[in-house]
C-alpha cells in the first residue's frame, strides 16, 4: 500500500481522534497509527484496498 493511500487514511481518521498522527506502521493488513508520545491512536484493518474496520483509542 502506497504512502499516498496511508496519507488519505490518516486525513480521514485524524478528525475523529482529535490528535495529530505522527507515525503509521503497517503490518500485513493492519495499519497502526501513533501520536507524538508513541501512544496508539487508532488501528485500521483493510482488505483489497478497502477499509474493513477502524478501532479508535482515547486517552485516559
Q: What is the pLDDT of residue 59?
A: 58
List of long-range contacts for 51-55, beta carbons under 8 Å, 24+ apart: 51/9, 54/13
Q: The C-alpha cell of 22 is what?
A: 505522527
Give this prediction's pTM: 0.70
Alpha helices in the chain (DSSP H): 3-17
Tens digits of residue pLDDT in 18-40: 888 899 999 998 999 999 888 89
Q: Which of 5, 2, 8, 15 is closest to 41 using CA atoms?
A: 15
Mean of the per-residue pLDDT values for the chain? Answer: 82
Structural domain spans, the chain: 3-56
Amino acid at each position: 500500500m502506497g504512502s499516498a493511500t496511508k496519507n488519505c487514511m490518516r486525513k480521514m481518521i485524524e478528525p475523529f481522534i482529535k490528535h495529530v498522527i505522527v507515525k503509521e506502521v503497517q503490518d500485513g493488513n493492519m495499519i497502526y497509527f501513533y501520536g507524538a508520545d508513541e501512544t496508539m491512536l487508532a488501528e485500521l484493518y483493510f482488505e483489497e484496498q478497502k477499509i474493513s474496520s477502524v478501532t479508535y483509542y482515547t486517552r485516559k
